[in-house]
Structure 1
Amino acid sequence: MEVRHFGPMLRPLYSARRGVQMTGNTVWIKRLALALGAGLLTVAIGAQAAWPDKPIKIIATYQPGGTNDIMARLAADIWSKALQVPVLVENHPGSSGNLGTELVAKAKPDGYTLLAGTFGPITTSPTLYPNLPYDPAKDFAPVGILASVPNVIFVHPSLPVSNLAELVTLAKTRPEPLKFGIVYGGTPQFLVAQLRKTTGIELLEIPYKGGTSALNDLIGNHLDLYIDNLPAVLPQIRGGTVKVLAVASQARSPQLPDVPTTAEAGFPDVEVSAWHGILAPAGTPPAVVERLNQTLVQALHTPEVRARIEQQGGTVVADTPEQFQGFILSEIARWRQVILDNHITASN
């Protein structure tokens, strides 16, 4: 009985399959299917064209107050104005920046979750951490680099040294080693490795999850020595709560014109700069990545934003996604060789 009941509705489809002229029912079904398909296509195109239509989130991989956080908030300010949606910064410190980086690597690639990427989690972690749960070369769609920043070597004001040479002499002659704060995986770890290799000094490493905690401990006289990106420590240098000995860059910083470079201080092989950029999860629509890059680069070329970066001691980069990707690949290869040649691990 059920077959006889549905037979009249199915017969036109059977006839069409045999090549018989289609009935009105069949024509109506095909027209409905076409209309639905066209409607879905219009909705999909409209949804893509509407990006962004909700808040965007930038994951900073270190503690608030550090350079990674500063640059994330600069990018958030740029895009909130350019894209007319809220752009929020969330700090997810831990595992030398790898925790927050993994969150973005596994996030939905829709343009609403971005990474404030930097040296350690992107360029050195693949070698330092054999079981890294993400691949920086494959799991991200680079958007662009905001700036490169130099590192500075500084001490507590009570330490009886006024330059880098005196610090080395003190480290070699003092009975107990100088206490040095370190966040593994970042540029300061490699800078202090260069300093040790060049001078032969011994330091007592005190590990930290983020630079803000280490900086606070140095200000509180719980550490003797620390190295960090200039933007993170510039207010303390100006306020006199820390004493800077050298800038680890090829040229003096305009923000610290009286502070010598490491080369001028007699240590030309002690130099590592950091970079800070934005990445999206792999698979993010190219049109979204392109729009993010274009609005970022336009802002970086304005006198206002350029001045904000330079006042922090940084240098504007403003590259393309393709240039950023090439830079990442070259940096991974470069620092992998440095790590292997010098037997550097995530804890030394």
Structure 2
Amino acid sequence: MFSRRPLFSLSLLAAAAAALAPIAVHAQAAAWPTKTIRVLVGSPPGGPSDITSRLFAEQLQKRTGQAVVVENKPGAGNNLAAGVVAQSEPDGYTLVVSPDTVVTTNPLVYRNMPFDAKKDLLNVSILASFTQLLVCNPKVKADTVPELVALTKTQPMTYASGGPAVPGHLAAEMFLQKTGARMQHIPYKGPAPATTAVLAGEVDCGFLATPTVMPQVQAGRLKALAVSSAEPSELAPQVPPLAKALNQKDLDISFKLVLQARRGTPAPVVAALEQHAAAIMAMPEIQARLRNVDLKAVGSTSAQAERTMQQEIARWAPVVSQLGLKMD
């Protein structure tokens, strides 16, 4: 007769290891961070995501005592950077700051996304929000939003954006849906060439990033009709909000910059990131620096960010569906 003790011992060891595994994970999470943190950005240097990421990373490094490195990985509507995080270890050491479009509209637009934004990415905190500025070439015979809407119904008109499915494109399409205005979309490779096209009169108007176009507005080379938010922009306080211009109080075409981690990141790490994000975004100097580029600091919890993304998905799905926009 053979002894069952070795098998019994192995079973005990396996059970003990299984019981201790969560404790080990929790201990590692409680010690976070113990090494360099990467923060990816899906746009080139100088854009809203990049500016916000660098301000956040600088303060996170001071607060944690660990190096925080920002890496720009532009392309595919911010999908390249987000994809790195979606396929990373869920340990809180690889993060991304993305516009909400990565979760809300990209899955509806891109046929071959290499990850599932809702399943693979955890929305840790909404760091900031931003809007777009509706500008037109001075030759356009409309000085208010209602005048522009009426003009589009009497003659062919065009609008520029920084590319398909970017915030400026989406803002313009929601504007058209809400007002019945008719304008043809002319996409460009970024807000700078789109602005140049409106300046040259090649395109009539455009919803474009406020910091990009405000110098041209102030110089009289473009005229600003509205900001896309429900509230005035501190960078352009003289320009009416679209909600007021159209007398639609609930109209708020704003976008969010979201700090994201791999879903499955331990709860203690997520809680730490939430706390750091809230504290950093509440700093007066951070808020002031963001206001200078027309960004509003937020610093939400993960639960708030998750709920907001679900609301934004529901808001933008009909717009994307009507556009029938598909990209590879």
- TM-score computed with the length of structure 1 as normaliser: 0.75
8 Å CA contact 1:119–1:187 kept in 2: the answer is no
Of 72, 87, 92, 2:73 maps to 92
User: What is the 5 A alignment of 1:1-348?
Assistant: 17=5, 50-156=31-137, 161-168=142-149, 171-173=152-154, 177-197=157-177, 198-208=179-189, 210-215=190-195, 217-218=197-198, 223-230=203-210, 233-234=213-214, 237=217, 242-266=222-246, 268=248, 271-340=252-321, 342-346=322-326
CA distance in 1, matches of 2:276, 2:315: 30
Q: Which amino acid aligns with 2:110?
A: Y
CA distance in 1, matches of 2:242, 2:4: 83
CA distance in 2, matches of 1:192, 1:135: 27
CA distance in 1, matches of 2:261, 2:215: 31
- Computed over aligned residues only, the root mean square deviation of the Cα atoms, in angstroms, reads 3.7
Deviation of 1:55 after TM superposition, in Å, equals 2.9
SS in 2 for 1:122: helix
CA distance in 2, matches of 1:83, 1:214: 40
8 Å CA contact 2:172–2:206 kept in 1: the answer is no
Deviation of 1:149 after TM superposition, in Å, equals 2.0
SS in 2 for 1:138: helix
CA distance in 2, matches of 1:46, 1:65: 38
8 Å CA contact 2:216–2:222 kept in 1: the answer is yes
2:16 matched to which residue of 1?
A: none
CA distance in 1, matches of 2:111, 2:103: 14
CA distance in 2, matches of 1:121, 1:311: 25
2:18 matched to which residue of 1?
A: none
2:12 matched to which residue of 1?
A: none
CA distance in 2, matches of 1:280, 1:239: 42
Q: Which amino acid aligns with 1:55?
A: T
Size of the alignment, in residue pairs? 315
Uncovered stretches (5+) of structure 1, i.e. residues with no partner: 1-13, 19-39
Greater C-alpha Rg: 1
CA distance in 1, matches of 2:166, 2:185: 18
- TM-score computed with the length of structure 2 as normaliser: 0.79
8 Å CA contact 1:138–1:282 kept in 2: the answer is yes
Instruction: Please give the per-residue CA displacement for 1:9-37, whole angstroms capped at 9, x wherever unaligned.
Output: xxxxx99959xxxxxxxxxxxxxxxxxxx
